[in-house]
Amino acid sequence: MDEPPIVRECLKQLFERCGEDPQREGLQKTPQRFLEAFEELTQGYHQTLEEVVNGALFECTNDAPVVVENIPFFSLCEHHLLPFFGHCTIAYIPNGKVLGVSKLYRIVNLFARRLQLQERLTQQIGESIREVTGARGVFVEMNGEHLCVAMRGVQRCNSKMRTFYRFGEPIEGFPRPSPSDASDFGCLCTKAEAVSGNVGGCNEKHDASSPRLLTVTTKEFPLKIGCYSEEQMRTTPVTLTLELQLPQHYGDVDDLNSTVDYDALITYLKETVLQQRFQLLEYAGREIYQATRDFLQTRQKRAKIRVTLTKKLSHALLQNSRFTYGDF
């Protein structure tokens, strides 16, 4: 595989800046090797959670916790492109379903093989397990060593960072959520702790009693929906009400990055799911819900989602039909 010319030029400038000769034997093929390694280390961008799980969800009547410890992970710090690595522990309480054990390793790898923050990585793993299994309780702990701390800056070796994700019922043998850990979504929090004298920690104060509810209602849009082909050939006016239950701290800053860009969300839905043909209002609602979840995940946003579709009916005795689907 040949590297793009811009990669070779960028690395050439880097080599020259540090006083190296880009043409010496050991560096001539480095741009190509670097690109191949970088693509391997970021392969998580080219996979989806559905592909990784691949249907490996099985019926289980046992509600004892499932615990897998010492799952290795390797990732790249998004701030310096330097590695951080360590081990992950996952525990969850089944709710009628268990996930194939190897899939836990694959989920960790899915999100670790991206440009990351350890705090975000921990949350993504926990929320994915919660989403896939419907578990009654989920606990994730990650212990990582960051080379951006050890090799540069404060240059502190043997310093590790611990991050947690907790959701739902407490799991015996694992730390229970403290009041300051509780988020607006019921005991869900990612918290960084300082270990070996490393300064850090989560100073954010949560208020579980006051989640922020963002409601977006569209004007009537033409949806192709109906059980018969002639119905799907014409459009039916449908109103979409999309409710997002946001964490309490969303919107604390007067900046679009601190909340959900609902204009971009509606545009995304219009370009994807709203162009499809549907037989059932129920199915359309579920597709819109999933597309909304996909939109939020790609932007590292989290929210509970509720979708309501209202369809005007032409029946003499009926005025309209309404379907609601969501997390709350």
pLDDT digits (tens, 9 = 90+) for 303-314: 889 999 998 777
Average pLDDT over residues 63-81: 93
pLDDT at 328: 80
Per-residue pLDDT, averaged over 279-306, amounts to 89
pLDDT score at 56: 93
Looking at residue 219, what DSSP letter applies?
P
Q: How far is CA 13 from the centre of its chain?
A: 35
DSSP strands (E only) in 175-264: 189-194, 212-217, 221-225, 236-246
DSSP 279: S
pLDDT value at position 199? Answer: 30
Q: Residue 192: is its pLDDT beyond 70? A: no
CA nearest to 85, candidates 131, 130, 61, 118: 118
Q: Which residue has the tokens 């019922």?
A: 169
| Strand pairing category for 236-246 and 160-168 | unpaired
Bridge partners of 166, per DSSP, are 139, 189
Residue 207 has pLDDT above 50, yes or no: no
CA angle 181, 137, 284 (to 5 degrees): 105
**What's the alpha-carbon Rg for the chain, to the nearest Å?**
24
Question: Which tens digit of pLDDT belongs to each residue from 99-129?
Answer: 999 999 999 999 999 999 999 999 999 999 9
Average pLDDT, integer, range 316-322:
79
Confidence of residue 138 (pLDDT cuts 50, 70, 90): very high
Element (H, E) at 117: none
**Highest averaged pLDDT of the listed ranges 121-135, 196-210, 246-260, 301-315:** 121-135
Q: Which residues are paired to 230 by β-bridges? A: none
Res 198: pLDDT: 33
Give residue 63's pLDDT: 86
Within 157-280, where are the H helices?
A: 229-233, 262-271
Q: Is the pLDDT of residue 250 over 80?
A: no
Residue 135, burial from CB neighbour count under 10 angstroms (0-12, 13-18, 19+): buried
Helices assigned H by DSSP within 138-208: 147-150
**173-211 burial by CB neighbour count: b if 16+ within 10 A, else e?**
ebeebeeebbbbbebbbbbbeeeeebeeebeeebeeeeb
pLDDT band at residue 18 using 50, 70 and 90 as cut-offs: very high
Percent of the chain exceeding pLDDT 70 equals 85
Phi, psi angles (nearest 5°) of residue 176: -80, 150
**pTM for this predicted structure:** 0.56
pLDDT tens digits along 229-249: 666 667 788 899 999 988 877
What pLDDT sits at residue 189?
37
SS3 call for 302: coil
Compare 159 and 62 and report the one with higher pLDDT. 62
pLDDT of residue 325 exceeding 60:
yes
299 φ, ψ to 5°? -110, 15
Using CA atoms, how far apart are residues 140 and 171, in angstroms rounded to an integer?
Answer: 11
Percentage of residues in the chain having pLDDT higher than 90: 45
The pLDDT of residue 257 is 78
Query: Could you tell me the sign of the dihedral formed by the alpha carbons of 132, 300, 159, 172, in that order?
Result: negative
Residue 71 has pLDDT above 90, yes or no: yes
Average pLDDT over residues 52-65: 92
Q: Which domains does the chain have, with CATH numbers?
A: 53-194 (3.30.1130.10), 212-326 (3.30.1130.10)
